Amino acid sequence: LLTVILGFLNFKPIEIKIYDLLLNSSLTIKQIQNLLDLSERTIRKYIRRLDQEGFIIKRVEEGKRLKYVYTAVPVQEAWKKVKGKIQGALDEITRVLEIKAELF
């Protein structure tokens, strides 16, 4: 289901895997790194996209040092975002087709 939902936005399999991990528990970059055996830089790249698209929530946790802890938004909320983007694309296609129809 996640693959279908996030596939509409061309999310890579690793981004879907990170989102799935974050659905199950809140994690830091370091924890994700240990679970997936990927570099911190790679994880940060994918986390950035998930954050920009609104699929994860980032919060600051205090300890010896401040750190970010990431959590996925619920699947239902993710689906609403995807639906909105699909609807936006369909509206744009409709608008372009209507303009072309007026010209011919």
pLDDT digit string, tens, across residues 47-83 = 999 999 999 999 998 888 889 999 999 988 888 888 8
Per cent of the chain over pLDDT 70 is 96
pTM of the full structure: 0.79
Could you tell me the two tokens for 22?
Answer: 């974050």
Strand 67-72 vs strand 56-61: parallel, antiparallel, or unpaired?
Answer: antiparallel
pLDDT, mean of residues 3-15: 79
- The whole-number pLDDT of residue 1 equals 67
- Of the two residues 12 and 8, the one the predictor is more confident about is 12
Conformation bin of residue 15: beta by default, left when phi > 0, alpha when psi is -120 to 50: alpha
DSSP run (H or E) holding 100:
helix 75-103
- The matching CATH number, chosen from 1.10.3720.10, 3.40.50.300, 1.10.10.10, 3.90.1150.10, for 2-103 is 1.10.10.10
pLDDT, mean of residues 35-40: 95
Residues 6 or more apart from 67 whose CB is under 8 A from it? 28, 60, 61
- The whole-number pLDDT of residue 22 equals 97
